[in-house]
Amino acid sequence: MDRPAPPPSELLEIAIDVARDAAATAYRMRIEGVSVAATKSTVTDVVTAADRAVERQITDALRRLRPGDAVLGEEYGTADGGTTDAPARVRWIVDPIDGTVNYLYGLPHCAVSIAAELDGAVVAGVVRNIHTGEEWTATAGGGAWRAGERLRCSTETDLGQALVITGFGYDARRRAHQARVVAELIPYVRDIRRLGAAALDLCLVAEGRADAYYEKGLAAWDQAAGGLVAAEAGLRIGGLKGLPPGPEMVIAAPPALYDPLHEHLTRWDAAGGP
C-alpha cells in the first residue's frame, strides 16, 4: 500500500526552513570570500566551494527531516530514496546557488532554490535571494506568495510593450545562436533583460516585475521551484511547439503574450542550435 502523501504545505514548510539556513551559509561564505573550486561544461561554467557546501547542507537537512525521500541536486546529482519495492514518492530538486556567476562576482541576483515533487509533479517550492532575503513560495493550487502578498503576473497584452527576461548558456556556440535569436526579438518587445539566475527571473516575472521570460538550456533544478511560483501567479509555462518546459526551452508568459512570443521564438529556432 502506498505510503500517505504529505500535504504540500508540510513539504513547503520544510523547504522554507532548509532554504533559510542554506541561504545564510551561502551569504556568510560570500562575505568570507569565494573562489572557483572547479568548472563543469566549460571554463565559464563554474562551481564554488559554497555551491558544494550549501548543497551538502541542504541534502543532509532533507535526509534528517524526510528520511527515505529522493534528492536531485545540481552538484551531486541524484540520491535515491525509498526501496526497490517502495520507491520514494517525494523527490527534492535542489539548486544550492542559482546564479553562481553572479554569486562569484558578488552581484545580488542569486538564490537558493528548493522544490518538492510528489509522484513526479512539483507541489511545493521556495526561492530565496541570498543577498536580499526576498523569498518566493508556492504550493500547487495554493498560489504564489512573497512577504505575505499573493502574486499575480503582468496583465500586459502587447508584446511590443513587454519587458522580457532571458539567459544564455555557457557554451560559446550556443551563446552565438542565442544572441542571434535575441537580436531578432528585441525590435518586437519593450526591452530585454539578462539577469543571470533563472529561478529568480521566474519569480520576478511571477510578480510582474518583468512581463515574460524564456530560456533554452535550463536544468530541472534551475526551474522547478521558480516554475511553480510562476505558474501559480498565472503565467503560462511551456516549451516550443506544444512541448512541456524543459532543457530545449522554457517560456513563461501571461496568457495574452504567450502565443506572440512563442511565434517569434519558433520563427527564429530559439530551441535549436548547439
Summarize the annotated binding site for Mg(2+) as residue ranges.
74, 95, 97-98, 222
Question: With CB under 6 A as the contact rule, which of the stretches 15-23, 78-86, 164-172, 235-243 interacts with ligand LIP?
Answer: 164-172
98 carries an active-site annotation: yes
- Residue 75 binding ligand LIP, by CB under 6 A: no
User: Which of 25, 57, 59, 100 forms a contact with ligand LIP (CB under 6 A)?
Assistant: 100
Question: With CB under 6 A as the contact rule, which of the stretches 98-106, 135-143, 156-164, 258-266 interacts with ligand LIP?
Answer: 98-106
- Set 51, 55, 69, 95: catalytic member: 95
User: Which of 8, 73, 81, 99 forms a contact with ligand LIP (CB under 6 A)?
Assistant: 99
Give Cα 82 distance to the centre of its chain. Answer: 26
Contact flags string 181-220 toward ligand LIP, x per CB under 6 A: ---------------xxx----------------x-----
User: Which of 55, 69, 75, 98 forms a contact with ligand LIP (CB under 6 A)?
Assistant: 98
- Set 97, 130, 165, 251: catalytic member: 97
User: Which of 73, 169, 260, 273 forms a contact with ligand LIP (CB under 6 A)?
Assistant: 169
DSSP codes joined into one string, the chain: -PPPPPPHHHHHHHHHHHHHHHHHHHHHHHHH---EEEESSSTTSEEEHHHHHHHHHHHHHHHHHSTT-EEEETTTEEE--B-SSSB-SEEEEEEEEESHHHHHHT-S--EEEEEEEETTEEEEEEEEETTT--EEEEETTTEEEETTEEP-------GGG-EEE----SSHHHHHHHHHHHHHHGGGSSEEE--S-HHHHHHHHHTTSSSEEEESS--HHHHHHHHHHHHHTT-EEE-STTPPSBTTBEEEE-HHHHHHHHHHHHHTTTT---
User: Least separation, in Å, of the C-beta of 6 and ligand LIP?
Assistant: 27
**Closest CB to ligand LIP: residue number:** 167
Burial class (CB in 10 A: 0-12, 13-18, 19+), 45: middle
Contact flags string 225-264 toward ligand LIP, x per CB under 6 A: ----------------------------------------
Give, rounded to a whole angstrom, the gap between the first and last alpha carbons of the chain: 45
- Residue 8 binding ligand LIP, by CB under 6 A: no
* Closer residue to ligand LIP (CB): 75 or 135: 75
- Residue 139 binding ligand LIP, by CB under 6 A: no
Cβ(220)–Cβ(94) below 8 Å:
no
74 carries an active-site annotation: yes
Chain contacts with ligand LIP (rule: CB under 6 A) = 74, 95, 98-100, 167-170, 196-198, 215, 222
Q: Could you give the residue numbers annotated as active site? A: 74, 95, 97-98, 100, 222
